[in-house]
Chains A and B, each alone.
Chain A
Amino acid sequence: MKDCQDITELVERSKIERISVGDRLAIRMHSTICKKCRQYFRDSDVLDKMMQSKRFKHLGEYQFTEEEKEKLKALLMNSEK
């Protein structure tokens, strides 16, 4: 008998590769009786969507160049005095 840990792991696995019919059935059976796992399925999808969103990808692109960082450090060194 698979527990919540197994089931939620299996769901992540199913997002990466094909899982067996038995496993798919196990997920379905378990989710009909387990509210916490149903919540996990939803949260997992939301996280996927957030991390796949353009907005998320753009956020990582906003960076200072090394040169700008050095300038900033120098500026701060001076304002400390």
Chain B
Amino acid sequence: MSDSKIDTEKLVEEQSDYLLSFAMSKLQDLELAKDLVQDTFVSAITKLDSFENRSNIRTWLTSILNRKIIDHWRKAETRYTDPVSSFFDQEGRAKHWLVDKKNSTSVESVVDKITQEEATLELYNCIEKLPPKWRGVIASKYLEEKVSEDICKEMEITPSNLWVIIHRAKLLLRDCLTKAELQ
């Protein structure tokens, strides 16, 4: 069908980089992440009937991708020789309790890292929803780290426009992030 052709192209254009960022927030291997995103699209295409506009397409794709990442972790885990028995000795005491204490990461810091990764990704998602001009200002300021004068020249705005835009963009981002938190 000709109209479904447009859909898949649009889908790839609009969602692939976001999905890749999502995968990379949980994985370290770029090639693996790309493979999983590709698998996600393939699954999605074959299951398009079950989508039925029930939710946001991005949310739907992200949930498929997340499933694939978890499956990957599970497979990777079974490849190791029983992680529990290598951690405990025969009497059930943790072998490395004292030895490795210096190098161990606190659970708190890991959890903190996970939520930070997710929050950062969510922020990306929120920035994409900003009006194009505001998004341009935010990208020049924070991603390209341009000085204010250059941003104003490039976007054809006055200095007072600049801080008003930043102010409003931040209000929207804050709103978007707190809503995401509630979901």
A interface residue numbers (CB < 8 A to B): 8-9, 12-13, 15-17, 43-44, 47, 50-53, 55-60, 62-64, 68-69, 72-73, 75-77, 79-80
Contacts and interface: CB of A to CB of B under 8 A. Distances in A.
A62 B117 contact: no
A47 B174 contact: yes
B150 interface: no
B13 A76 contact: no
B87 interface: no
Closest 9 CB pairs of A and B: A51-B142, A13-B163, A12-B163, A12-B167, A76-B8, A62-B24, A59-B21, A63-B17, A62-B20
Contacts of B8: 73, 76-77, 80
Contacts of A44: 170
B164 interface: yes
A77 B160 CA distance: 49
Interface residues of B, number: 43
Nearest to A63: B17
Interface in B51-99: none
Task: Report whether over half of chain A's contact residues are helix, strand or loop; otherwise say mixed.
Answer: helix
23 contacts: A12-B164, A13-B160, A15-B163, A16-B148, A16-B159, A43-B174, A51-B123, A51-B138, A51-B143, A55-B116, A56-B124, A59-B21, A60-B143, A62-B21, A62-B24, A63-B17, A64-B17, A75-B41, A75-B42, A76-B41, A76-B45, A77-B8, A80-B45
Given A57-B143, A59-B120, A62-B30, A73 B170 contact: no
